Structure 1
């Protein structure tokens, strides 16, 4: 009987080793040796998309006229989209000193027309879908037009009151994200 148990243990050893290896690979952090076959990523981030706050900090290093004005939470989100399936996972708003106060009289403090917003999604497809939705709304109401730049899971929304040259700085900064 000892011989049968020993034979069964010998037969199971390769299966146990394979399962251990597969489990270890499934939990490997991004850019670990298990990912050596994948191309190098442009970012050193290993835990998914950046937060909107981190993306804004990076962008504001290139666009010095942008100032963070607020962080959107589930409680204060005017769109009621934060955390909903397919919607942004984080969002911040910012003002831009190029936008004249007289142009935005009466606009809410976190309104895109005061400067803009950074919205981060779980993936690039959701960010593109949101940008397309905003563009469709703007087509039917030009007063809601804005500049929208998608880079990976990040959507940078910029005030229509900026000139195309000013807005292009945000486009360049957005391209550096990710």
Structure 2
């Protein structure tokens, strides 16, 4: 937690909430890292964050929407796309690939019966079965996270609102 606080300048409230159960905290972040920091597949870090934003908006989770919109802004260098997805992903300035990715994520989030048609729509845009698995596991993991945030009435840290929108203030020790 100290590393995250030092790197970001604040400690996200999710860390405080999950520290209630240290064993589960470690398992949560081990799985988070396995899903979000992998170097294989056709999903960028920005793609992964956009999946979380869409899933969390679908699940009405303010904490995850605000926090992961901030991360999407940072990774994508796009200050508005996550906001558009939150309001209406069908009207957002997404390319066809992103639409296919989020349509699949939302089908998983809504517990739709996933069919070969879902997978074929992904394949048209260069996603393979492993990518479908990644989209589905990110969606499912954050559906769980959304519910834990609801259970605990988790509020976004104020810092998330400006991340990726305003230049980051330099630490006084950086000169």
* TM superposition score category, shorter chain reference: under 0.3
Indicate the structure (1 or 2) with the bigger Cα radius of gyration: 1
Bigger strand share: 1
Q: Normalization by structure 1: what TM-score?
A: 0.27
Q: Normalization by structure 2: what TM-score?
A: 0.27
Bigger helix share: 2
